[in-house]
Amino acid sequence: MKKKAHVIKLLVLLTPKPWRAILEPKIQAAYPSLKLVWVESLQELQEILPTKSPSAKKGDDLNINPLHTLVEGDFKSARLLSILNEWIVPKSLFEQFGLGFYNIHPGPPERPGWAPLNFALYDDDKEFGATLHEALEDADTGRIWAVDLFTIPQDCNYYQLATLTMDSVLRVFDQNLANLISELNPQFTPMTWGAKRQTKQDLLKESLISPSISRVELDLKIKAFGMCTDVCQLRTVQSGKTFVFDPLRQTARSLDNESVNKSERTESIDQGVENNQPHLFIQNICLYLQKDKCSSI
């Protein structure tokens, strides 16, 4: 006789706030009695855990349904789910969840690690997606639960790929919601993570521009690393000065004085400079981006 699946008592979601508005209606519509806790940081996660607060707390103190009360026993039948979370969760925290810790990685198994969208564009990947997997102390190493894949359109830019990836994250969540809230153990796939595991250092290295860069390579770096300054910024180091570029605003600025003065110090670079090679180099990039003058941010 097939074992009946029981719904877990508690689902804790570690995710940026905007995702709550997207995911909460889906979960509550399907499982209205499920206790949900939404946290955005490690500090918030610590506050709800039994080792931090073993006594019962009211739901409205914990960002859950005010009709619910969170007690220590709930964590024996609790699961932690991370979605687009930038935090590395220590084992001492996630091991308190009796039914494990899982993550939705915004990339396919072939793209573990840092900035998968950027490197997929840089390497001209043909396929992308999202991966639901067991989360461990080392990011993107746990057993793979489910994968959603899609073909990257031709001439896809960063924002188009980001939108398609968010859709993929939602699909893998929707398709596996029933399993995520089930007490039964996951049925992992035989899929494994790829060997291309980029780090933050790799991203910094690839976003660096040299004076000898070709127009083709510059085009590719702008496409892959220059379109989302929240993730990374194109930059160059010339004569001891570091300049960063924002291709969308078509601006450049010097970082030299930021450590001296907390207020952001910027340096305008214009066409009038003729004998300073670093300035001319930056000017050429600005001109390549089809703007007459590079203004400070």
Q: Above 70 in pLDDT, residue 70?
A: no
Beta strands in the chain (DSSP E): 10-14, 35-39, 57-58, 69-70, 78-83, 101-105, 127-134, 144-151, 234-238, 241-246, 251-254
The answer to whether residues 131 and 172 touch, using CB atoms and an 8 Å cutoff, is yes
| Residue spans per domain, the chain | 10-180, 207-288
Q: Above 90 in pLDDT, residue 158?
A: yes
Q: Above 70 in pLDDT, residue 168?
A: yes
For the chain, what is the mean pLDDT?
79
Stronger pLDDT, 163 or 87, i.e. the higher one: 163
Mean pLDDT score, 62-78: 61
* Poorest-pLDDT segment among 28-32, 148-152, 285-289: 285-289
CATH of segment(s) 10-180: 3.40.50.170
> Dihedral of CA 63/67/68/69: which sign?
positive
Mean pLDDT score, 137-161: 95
What tens digit of pLDDT does each residue of 7-18 get?
898 999 999 999
Q: Above 80 in pLDDT, residue 65?
A: no
Sorting pLDDT into bands at 50, 70 and 90, what band is 104? very high
What tens digit of pLDDT does each residue of 186-238 get?
999 999 999 889 999 999 899 888 777 787 888 888 889 988 878 888 887 76
Sorting pLDDT into bands at 50, 70 and 90, what band is 69? low
d(CA 190, CA 143): 8
DSSP-based helix, strand, coil % in the chain, nearest 5: 30, 20, 45
Stronger pLDDT, 249 or 17, i.e. the higher one: 17
d(CA 145, CA 102): 9
What tens digit of pLDDT does each residue of 269-291 get?
333 333 444 445 555 665 554 34
